[in-house]
Every structure is written in C-alpha cells, then in structure tokens.
Amino acid sequence: MILWNRILVGLDESEPSLNALRYLAGVLGGSNTSKVRLLAVYLPPDPDSHPDPGQRADLAAERRLALEARLAQAYHMLVEARLARENLSTDLVEAGGRTVGQVIMDYQAEGGYGTVVVGRRRLSKAEEFLFGSVSSTVVHTATDCCVWVVA
Amino acid sequence: MPSSGMDLKRQAEELLGNKLDRVRLVHDTTQFMELERGDVLGLDGRRYLITGVAYEGRFGLDEEPKHWVKRALDFSDGSQKLIKLVFFEEFDLPIGLLKVRCYRSPAKESRILELVRGRPQFMQGITHLDPSGNQVRVLDRVPGQSLDKRLDALRLDHRAWFDGLLRPMLERFLGSLEAIAFLHGQGERHGDIRRDHIFVHNEDQRWVWIDFDYNFDFKQSPFGLDLFGLGNVLCYVVGRGIPTLRQIKQERPQTLDLLDTGDLSPVIPNRVFNLKKLYPYLPEELNRVLMHFAASAPIYYERVEEMIEDLRPAIAKLPQPVREEAP
Ligand SMILES: Nc1ncnc2c1ncn2[C@@H]1O[C@H](COP(=O)(O)OP(=O)(O)OP(=O)(O)O)[C@@H](O)[C@H]1O
Ligand SMILES: [Mg+2]
C-alpha cells in the first residue's frame, strides 16, 4: 500500500542531492507527520575496468564510505531541522546490475513510499544523451507516487 | 615429438612462403612489445606465427603501430589471425566536448567472444591463457574492409546512392542492430561502436562487428554510448558520410540558412543529423529515426529495439535498387 507520508530521498555524493535535502528540511522542519527514508545506491566498481582485486576493494571501500558519510550528514541535517529521530532512517543498497534510477523506483514500490525526492544535476543535453539522468528516469517510471525533483 | 629449432624455422617459413631471419618459440606474452615477426606463440598446444604488428586504423592515425595487436598465421591450417595481447590502459576518451573515462578490458572481450560464437554478425575468436595468466585473444581475420573504407571508395553522388544502394545497405545495418540488441540482452555492451568497427565480409557482404575491449563506467543509461555510436553509423550510411557544418558551408552554402542547432548532434554540434534538410527526397520515417539523435529530440532512444522498430518501416519506404548486388 502506498502511503503519502512515507518519503523516500535519493542521495549521492553530489551537491544537488544535498540541495534536495535542504528543501525537504525547509518544508518538513518541525513536523512529525512524515517518515523519511534516506537512500543511497552503491554501484560496486566494475571488474572489467578495475581487474586488480586489491585496487577494486580499495575503490569499493572508498565509494561506500563516501555514501555512508553523506547519509550521516543528511540524517544530521534533518535532526537539526527538528524532525523526530524515530521518523528518520537511512539505507544503503547495492545496485546489483540495475541503474540508480531503477533501484530508487524498485525501493519505492517495495516500501510503499508515496513521495520520492531527488536532486537534479543540471546535465547538458550531451551528457543526458550519453549517460542518462536519474531524475528523468524517476519521473518517467513513476506510476503511483509523487516525485519532487529539486533543481 | 618435440620439433627442434631448425624444424620450427622450416615449418614457419613454409607457412609464410618466405624466408625468416630468426624464429623463436614463445609462451609468455607479458612483454608484448618484444614479440615480432618470426616469433611463434605456443599456447594450449597450438602455434601461431607472428607476421607483423597491426596499425591504428582510425582516421588520421594510420601510421601508429598497435604493439598489443599482432598479425599471425595459424600453424594448423595457415589461416590469418589477429592476436590481441593483454594491455591495460585507462584514459579519458574525448567525445565531442565531453570526456569519458575508458578502460581497455581483455576480460570483457574474451567474454563477448564466447557469447557471440557462431553468430555471423560478430568477429569470431578464442581465448588462450598464457603461463602468466594473460588472456590472449586469437581472432579470425574478417576478410574484407571496414565500412568506412568501403563506402568512402564509392564514387557516387547522394541521389545515386539513395536510389541504388541505401536500401540494401540499411537492411544490412538492421542485422548489425539486431546483433547489438542481442549483446545488450545478455547484459553486455559493444563499447566502441564506430563505422570502422564494422567490417564488410568479402564473401557475402555481410556486416561484422569487431573490437569489443572498451569498457566505461556506466551511469544511468547503460546503453547510451552504444546508441550514440549506432546513431552516428546510421547518419553516416544515410548521408553517405556525416555532413559537417563546414562542409555544407563550402559545398552548398544556400542550405546553411535552413539549419539550426536542433538539427545537429547534441554531443558533436557540428554534425548534421537532420538530413532531410539537405536531401529532401529522404522519407520522413527515416529522417524521424535520425532526429532521435539530434539536439531537438524530446527523448532519446534508450534501447536498440526502439531504434529497430522505427527503422524497419522506414527502410520499407526506400526505393528498391534496380541492380541486385551491392558493394
Ligand atoms: N576480426 C578482425 N578481422 C579483420 N580485421 C580486424 C579484426 N579485428 C581487428 N581488426 C583490425 O585490426 C585493427 C585493430 O584491432 P582492434 O580495433 O580490435 O584493436 P584495439 O586495440 O582494440 O583498437 P582500438 O584502438 O580501436 O581500441 C582494427 O582497427 C582492424 O583494422
Ligand atoms: Mg578497441
């Protein structure tokens, strides 16, 4: 069942995802009507690109750490904005061959989140063409929820 | 029975049909720079005579030797092979104004060779592990030329191309698209789709994909780079060369005013994709496929199947060639 006051926030290491969070803190600050799940999607380094196992393990640890730090920082920002701790939680999931956008939307469907919040990287047309965009994937695949794209 | 050094030299010369100064039997390929004409690679009980090194086929870089790619002859049947040795490199590949981190991956190429075995739209080959564990890829040389060499050699104006050859060419391209769709369906990517990575087979003129060793850090769109490459090949085939703004300025300045930035590639903004503005006789359906790769496109293709679905009916609108055979 989809619940409107269950909010899913997609976070990465980039600045725009923090902007999305600041906006959320501004809107929800002080209220205790919503549950917020902060989600970071971890993409393990590709063995084809990083064949050396030691190097790959270092890179993996580095990426995980960056995401964990971001989740901690985001949690703290929402606590500062006077959201109750019992309404806040974080999760780090591995993409497992899926793209970040797919993972976010799978998570949304499984957890019954009524609202999905993402930032926007302001990609150029060329970048969007070659690499795709998480926010547009989220917007285009959402069927039963509300999406906030914070630009 | 182990053959003596003299035997090997005689066998190698017989295979080559020519004298060799010196013949060495080599098993380890780690120092690939040192392997040269006259060296015999012994791998998994098979032998290959190295006859030379491959040269960069890429436009403008014709003279650069690629020391990790050797030309060779198979001792068992005298057939021509290309042998790709393990060479890791990592670099930023410029694509238009962007740079993409690119990795050369022998493992990826070996895996794809297994996957495409027996499929005529892909080069064929096997992998041997040398004593140091290097993945040595032994490729059957596709007898033929790359698509760009083949098409650039044709002396035809665009109208003659359109009337006589475009349809059979695009039918072959459709086969190449289906091949890439198969690869994507298996969770793999070609990685370096360009018109010189399609070889036109001498026997039946089929188009064969070569070179699978590029890998990238993929972002949200897993097939974006392959699709970008396919769009470029399509534009190249339909336009018989991708027209650039500079060319148009020189050759047909009157059409320059018709073009705006929406007609150009968003990635390489001097390439014209709205070919109908240059060649008004192109069917609307075909131009619409091209426009998915132009800056004005509201959405881009995300999967090859979407491109195939649009291209197939567009090809049906093209004139049937009078002559049957095509280059
Ligand atoms: N199976 C094949 N049949 C015929 N020619 C081939 C084949 N594979 C490669 N070649 C030729 O050898 C050249 C080098 O091979 P290939 O492109 O696979 O090497 P590479 O080192 O991966 O090159 P790149 O710089 O494009 O990554 C090709 O450009 C082509 O001319
Ligand atoms: Mg290559």
Tally Cβ neighbours within 10 Å of residue A46. 17
Structure confidence by residue, pLDDT tens digits, A43-68: 999 999 999 999 999 999 999 999 99
- Residue of A148, A130, A33 whose CA lies nearest to B217: A130
The response to whether residue B93 sits with its C-beta less than 6 Å from ligand 1 reads no
Percent of chain B scoring above 90 in pLDDT: 85
Average pLDDT over every residue of B241-263 = 91
The response to whether residue B268 sits with its C-beta less than 6 Å from ligand 1 reads no
Q: What residue ranges do the domains of chain B occupy? A: 16-87+124-140, 144-316
- The 3-class secondary structure across B190-223, one letter per residue, is CCCCCHHHEEEECCCCCEEECCCCEEECCCCCCC
A49 touches chain B (CB under 8 A): yes
Tally Cβ neighbours within 10 Å of residue B172. 18
Structure confidence by residue, pLDDT tens digits, B93-117: 999 889 999 999 999 999 999 999 9
Residue B323 burial by Cβ neighbours in a 10 Å radius (0-12, 13-18, 19+): exposed
Tally Cβ neighbours within 10 Å of residue B174. 16
Nearest residue by C-alpha to atom 22 in ligand 1: B211
Residue B35 has pLDDT above 60, yes or no: yes
Of chain B, the end-to-end C-alpha distance in Å amounts to 48
Structure confidence by residue, pLDDT tens digits, B43-63: 999 999 999 999 876 655 567
Residue B5 burial by Cβ neighbours in a 10 Å radius (0-12, 13-18, 19+): exposed
pLDDT band at A4 (very low <50, low <70, confident <90, very high): confident
The pLDDT, as a whole number, for residue B24 is 95
Percent of chain B scoring above 70 in pLDDT: 95
Residue A80 has pLDDT above 50, yes or no: yes
Q: Residue B16: helix, strand or coil by DSSP?
A: helix
Count of structural domains, chain A: 1
B222 touches chain A (CB under 8 A): yes
The verdict on a CB contact (< 8 Å) between A130 and B105 is no
Evaluate whether B306 touches B297 at the Cβ level (below 8 Å). no
A131 touches chain B (CB under 8 A): yes
The verdict on a CB contact (< 8 Å) between A126 and B267 is yes
Interfacial A residues in 85-104 facing B (CB < 8 Å): 97, 99-101
B273 touches chain A (CB under 8 A): no
Angle at CA of residue A97, ends A95 and A98, nearest 5°: 65
- B291-298 long-range CB contacts below 8 Å, 24 or more apart? B292/B231, B293/B228, B293/B231, B293/B232, B293/B234, B293/B235, B293/B265, B294/B262, B294/B263, B294/B264, B294/B265, B294/B266, B295/A125, B295/B261, B295/B262, B295/B263, B295/B264, B295/B265, B295/B266, B295/B269, B296/B261, B296/B262, B296/B263, B297/B266
Residue B163 has pLDDT above 60, yes or no: yes
The pLDDT, as a whole number, for residue B57 is 65
Closest residue in B to A134 (Cα–Cα)? B220
Structure confidence by residue, pLDDT tens digits, A16-26: 888 899 999 99
Q: Residue A104: helix, strand or coil by DSSP?
A: helix
Evaluate whether B13 touches B117 at the Cβ level (below 8 Å). no
The response to whether residue B211 sits with its C-beta less than 6 Å from ligand 1 reads yes
The verdict on a CB contact (< 8 Å) between A126 and B225 is no
* Average pLDDT, rounded, for chain B: 93
Residues 6+ apart with CB under 8 A from A123: A131, A133
**Structure letter (DSSP) for residue B323:** S
The Cα A49–Cα B105 span in angstroms is: 6
User: Rounded to an integer, what is the distance from CA A79 to the centroid of its chain?
Assistant: 18
Give the Å distances, CA to CA, from B327 to B82, B144, B201.
25, 11, 10
Structure confidence by residue, pLDDT tens digits, B69-85: 999 999 999 999 999 99
The pLDDT, as a whole number, for residue B58 is 63
Question: Could you identify the residue written with the tokens 């050859």?
Answer: B165
pLDDT band at B326 (very low <50, low <70, confident <90, very high): low
The pLDDT, as a whole number, for residue B218 is 77
Evaluate whether A36 touches A88 at the Cβ level (below 8 Å). yes
The Cα A15–Cα A36 span in angstroms is: 20
Please indicate whether residue B133 or residue A123 has the higher confidence score (pLDDT). B133
Least confident window among A73-77, B163-167, B254-258? B254-258
Specify the CATH number for the domain of residue A7. 3.40.50.620
The pLDDT, as a whole number, for residue B97 is 86
pLDDT band at B1 (very low <50, low <70, confident <90, very high): very low
| Residue of A130, A133, A140, A149 to mutate, testing the B interface (most B Cβ within 10 Å of its Cβ) | A130
B306 touches chain A (CB under 8 A): no
Average pLDDT over every residue of A94-98 = 90
CATH architecture assigned to B144-316: Orthogonal Bundle (1.10)
**What are the strands of the beta sheet with B144-146, ordered from one edge?**
B144-146, B198-201, B207-209
Question: Could you identify the residue written with the tokens 């004139």?
Answer: B319
The response to whether residue B142 sits with its C-beta less than 6 Å from ligand 1 reads yes
Structure confidence by residue, pLDDT tens digits, B265-304: 999 999 999 999 999 999 999 999 999 999 999 889 999 9
Residue B225 has pLDDT above 60, yes or no: yes
Range of the domain at A141: 3-150
Residue B128: in which H helix or E strand, if any? strand B125-129
Residue B323 has pLDDT above 70, yes or no: no
